[in-house]
Amino acid sequence: MKRVGVLVLYSVQETLRDRLLLGLLAAGAILLLLVGLLAPMTLGAREKTFHDLGLAWIHLSGILILLVLGVWTLHRERERGIWLTILTRPVTRVEYVFGRLLGLLCTLALALLGSALVYSIVAWITGLGPVSGLGISLAYGFLEMSILAGLIFLFSTFSGFALTVFLAMAVFFAGHLSADLLRLAALTENPLAGGLATVFHWLLPHLEIFRVRDAIVGGAAPAPMEVLRSTGYALAYLGALAAVATAIFLRRDIR
């Protein structure tokens, strides 16, 4: 566990040394401040407009950090032979996988918390105040994007930078449409197409269950049992992705 903790700390330090996170937070602060100042022009929808854009920006910042810092760091380690350097020390491949995956999740948490802090500060400055249920929104965003982090790590174990980004985002966006596959299976008259649609429905992550931003801005929050089910699903799916990534990494010839 100590070696896993060192890898996690290394990931966080890499994030803090990179200027992208600070630049993203600064750009978000300027954008939200402009929105807060111009929101009175939205004819009665000032708070809703500001909170909608604020929560969307927090969500987008997490995705950008994962794609840019997450994917880039993993592939930079491979291209520069850092994988081999780490694994020649008393670090097993399983420890490396879990250490780097947990580091990626810590990077995601850092980005979300930083973005939420900027959003809250701008909300107070503009006199609107942060939306109630911000913590629930952050938790759901973290659960959703933790699956994206797992996808990124899985695809990075066997593909290049561009392909990792493409595959991870393709599965991520398809995960928001997975419920439509069941409707397609029910409507189609082709048994093969219906069977494939059903299989892909269960293989793809069901990410729409994490989309609660609109409800929170509207004043509604998920029930406690829904939060527990969503958390359990995210942990189970992330665990499956980590297991597959570990199995691939254990069989990979690293030079």
pLDDT band at 87 (very low <50, low <70, confident <90, very high): low
Give the Cα separation of 241 and 165 in Å (integer): 16
- For the stretch 227-240, pLDDT in tens is 999 999 999 999 99
| Residues in contact with 72: Cβ distance below 8 Å, sequence separation at least 6, in sequence order | 161
User: What's the pLDDT score for residue 70?
Assistant: 75
Residue located via tokens 């630049």: 23
Q: What is the mean pLDDT of the chain?
A: 81
Which of the 8 DSSP states describes residue 209?
G
- For the stretch 180-197, pLDDT in tens is 877 777 777 777 877 888
- For the stretch 142-184, pLDDT in tens is 999 999 999 998 898 888 888 888 999 999 998 888 878 777 7
Name the CA radius of gyration of the chain, rounded.
20
> Is the residue at 55 inside a domain?
yes
Question: CB–CB of 98/242 below 8 Å?
Answer: yes
User: What's the pLDDT score for residue 57?
Assistant: 87
- Its domain, for residue 217, covers 2-176+211-251
User: What's the pLDDT score for residue 86?
Assistant: 64
Lowest mean pLDDT among 21-25, 28-32, 79-83, 239-243: 79-83
Give the Cα separation of 41 and 52 in Å (integer): 15
User: What's the pLDDT score for residue 40?
Assistant: 56
How many domains, in total, are found in the chain? 1
- CA 29-124-56 angle, to 5 degrees, is 50
CA distances in angstroms from 174 to 169, 178, 213, listed in the order given: 8, 6, 19
> Is the residue at 198 inside a domain?
no
> Is the residue at 197 inside a domain?
no
Burial 24-56 (b: 16+ CB within 10 A, else e): bbeebbeebeebbeebeeeeeebbebbbbbbbe
CA distances in angstroms from 68 to 108, 166, 249, listed in the order given: 11, 13, 22
User: What's the pLDDT score for residue 228?
Assistant: 93
Alpha helices (H) in 88-223, listed in sequence order: 93-125, 134-156, 161-175, 178-187, 191-203, 213-217
> Is the residue at 39 inside a domain?
yes
> Is the residue at 193 inside a domain?
no
> Is the residue at 169 inside a domain?
yes
User: What's the pLDDT score for residue 18?
Assistant: 67
> Is the residue at 8 inside a domain?
yes
Question: CB–CB of 208/63 below 8 Å?
Answer: no
> Is the residue at 190 inside a domain?
no
Rounded percentage of the chain residues whose pLDDT exceeds 70: 86
